[in-house]
Amino acid sequence: MKKLLMTAVVMSSLYGCTTIHFDNGKPVAESYSTDQWHHNVIELVEVSDPVTLDQECRDSEWTSVTTEVTFVDGLLTGLAAPFWQPKSVTVDCK
């Protein structure tokens, strides 16, 4: 079990953590966020539906979208590599 965990940690460090952030205007004080995972298989095939900002923000406007590979996402990728690569997506809405 220790070898499997160490292999997963090493693999996750090879994938690295990345963040892509999109802004739509200035941040506002009154906002809410939604978080979800976006799934890729074998790095090239997206198996999740695209994030629909109209659905995430309901009747309001989106202010930012952040897509990132966190340490936990990288760790899970290391356990399932190269078959499953999750990414964390956060949508901020007014």
Per-domain boundaries in the chain: 2-93
Give the global pTM.
0.72
Does the structure show a pLDDT above 70 at 15? no
Confidence band of 16 (pLDDT split at 50, 70, 90): low
33-80 pLDDT, tens digit each? 889 988 888 777 888 998 999 899 988 899 999 999 888 887 887 777
Integer Cα distance of 64 and 46 in angstroms: 22
Q: Are strands 62-69 and 18-23 parallel, antiparallel or unpaired?
A: antiparallel
How many Cβ atoms from other residues are within 10 Å of residue 41's Cβ? 14
Confidence band of 81 (pLDDT split at 50, 70, 90): low
22-40 pLDDT, tens digit each? 888 877 777 888 899 888 8
CB-CB contact of 64 with 22 (8 Å) = yes
Element (H, E) at 48: none
How many Cβ atoms from other residues are within 10 Å of residue 77's Cβ? 23
Alpha helices in 2-94 (DSSP H): 2-15, 53-57, 71-80
